[in-house]
Each structure stands twice: as structure tokens, then as C-alpha cells.
Amino acid sequence: MRKAERADYVRRRLQELYPQTPVPLAHTDPYTLLVAVLLSAQCTDERVNQVTPALFALADNPRDMAALSVEQIREIIKPCGLSPQKSKAIKRLSEILLAEHGGAVPADMEALERLPGVGHKTASVVLSQAFGVPAFPVDTHIHRLAQRWGLTNGRNVVQTERDLKRLFPREDWNRLHLQIIYYGRQYCTARGCDGTVCEICRTCYPRRRAPKVTRKA
């Protein structure tokens, strides 16, 4: 298969497997999604969903969150890891949202990336999942699968995002981002598939016999 043929197959097969793409992080609005995505750094979505109910019971908006101390936030989010940095970022970004954005999460990439603890990937997730803005957030899992499927040569997540945006229609980006995550968790895990096991890997590269060595993000 050529790269374009692999991309078309991936798009069609993922749509068959995952016609519905619910957001895996529990949230009620752009602000709670922003906080949940920030907490998900180096933490599973399942763990985040276990932690956020207690946090949002105290503060599910910037004003209430800014009124909490860093220590109060940290005590709740400890199970997510990196709690010292994350608690400070959550409090500070809440203060900035109040001071500079009227308490609302901006639907703007540059404004989001200026918030503490919010990098390009987090901003992309919020834009795509909270506001429906076409984006293709690439984390380490999508980076790995895109390499296994021959959709990028995978020097880094920046290049992988650029390559995927070139390969797939803009209107499919938001859905595909989630579909690739679902597939990676279910069939093409880091240890369960080495590029020769799952259906999509075998279809894209039927003659591949040796494990596909992927570059880390």
C-alpha cells in the first residue's frame, strides 16, 4: 500500500469500529474539560475520572477554583501524579481566566497555550472537544500508532501532527484523534502489538515480520 492508501484504509476501518466518539474525560463544560486534560498528563483517563468528581464538587468554575488554596487542590489531585505542578497551574490558570477572559475558556490556540500547564496538545484537545474546532492532538500513543501504520516517519509529535493533518480531511481530524486513541487502547497497545499483531498493522504491512521500532515522542 502507498501512504495515501494506508490512510484511507485506517480512516474507513476506524469509522467502522468506532462510529461514536465520546470524549473519555468526564466534564460538563470547557473549563472542567481543560482541568481534566491538564490532569491527564502522565496519568490515565480512568484515574482522572476518579479524581475530578471530588475536585469539581468544590470548584467547577474558575472563580471557585481560584478561591481554593494550592494545598487544597493538591490534596485532591495527588493520585494523578505531578500534583505540585498541576495544583499550581490549575489555580493560576483559573486566576488568569478571571482576570483576562471574563472567567471563560478562550476558543483560541494562542490564548490557551499561554495558560500555565497548557501545552499545544492540551490546547488542541480543548479546541477540538469543547469547541469543535478542527485540531489533531497528538500524544505519545497516537505518535506510536502513526509510525506503526506508516503515516509518518515520526521524528517527534510536531511532525506527526503535521503529517496526519496532511493525510486526512480537516473535517475528520477531531473524530480520528479519538478513534486512534480508542483503537490503540483496545488493539494496538504499546506492549500488546509490535507492529505485526493487530488488524490495522497487519493490513497496512502484510509482509512485515520484524517488530516495528518506533521513535519516542
Residue where a domain terminates, one of 76, 111, 131 = 131
Q: Give the per-residue pLDDT at 157.
A: 93
Distance of CA 125 to the CA centre of its chain: 6
Pair 97, 164 in one domain: no
Residue where a domain terminates, one of 131, 155, 187 = 131
Mean per-residue pLDDT of the chain: 96
Pair 37, 84 in one domain: yes
Q: What percent of the chain lies above the pLDDT cut of 70?
A: 100
From the list 22, 23, 15, the residue with the least C-alpha distance to 172 is: 15
Q: Who has greater pLDDT, 104 or 213?
A: 104
Pair 175, 196 in one domain: yes
CATH of the domain at 193: 1.10.1670.10
Catalytic residue among 45, 78, 88, 139: 139
Pair 37, 123 in one domain: yes
Region 157-163: mean pLDDT is 95
Q: For residue 215, is it within any domain? A: no
Pair 127, 37 in one domain: yes
Q: Give the per-residue pLDDT at 215.
A: 83
Question: What distance in Å separates the CA atoms of residue 185 and residue 144, rounded to the nearest whole number?
Answer: 12
Q: Would the pLDDT of 68 be above 80?
A: yes
In Å, what is the CA distance from 23 to each residue of 35, 53, 100, 109, 199? 14, 16, 28, 20, 24
User: Do 97 and 49 touch, CB atoms closer than 8 A?
Assistant: no
Q: What percent of the chain lies above the pLDDT cut of 90?
A: 94
Q: For residue 154, is it within any domain? A: yes
Q: For residue 38, is it within any domain? A: yes
As for how many domains the chain has, the answer is 2
Pair 119, 141 in one domain: no
Q: For residue 114, is it within any domain? A: yes
Catalytic residue check, 121: yes
Give the type of residue at 163. D
pLDDT in tens, 105-153: 999 999 999 999 999 999 999 999 999 999 999 998 999 999 999 999 9
Pair 52, 145 in one domain: no
Pair 41, 17 in one domain: no
Pair 11, 102 in one domain: no
Catalytic residue among 78, 121, 172, 216: 121
Q: For residue 187, is it within any domain? A: yes
Pair 48, 106 in one domain: yes
Q: For residue 142, is it within any domain? A: yes
Where in the sequence is the domain holding 108, given as residue range(s)?
30-131
Residue where a domain terminates, one of 131, 157, 191 = 131
Region 167-196: mean pLDDT is 96
Q: Give the per-residue pLDDT at 96.
A: 98
Q: Give the per-residue pLDDT at 63.
A: 98
pTM across the whole model: 0.92
The values of phi and psi at residue 115, to 5°, are -75, 145
Region 22-34: mean pLDDT is 97
Q: For residue 44, is it within any domain? A: yes
Q: For residue 213, is it within any domain? A: no
Catalytic residue check, 8: no
Residue 155: pLDDT band with limits 50, 70, 90: confident
Pair 126, 142 in one domain: no
CATH of the domain at 98: 1.10.340.30
Pair 148, 80 in one domain: no
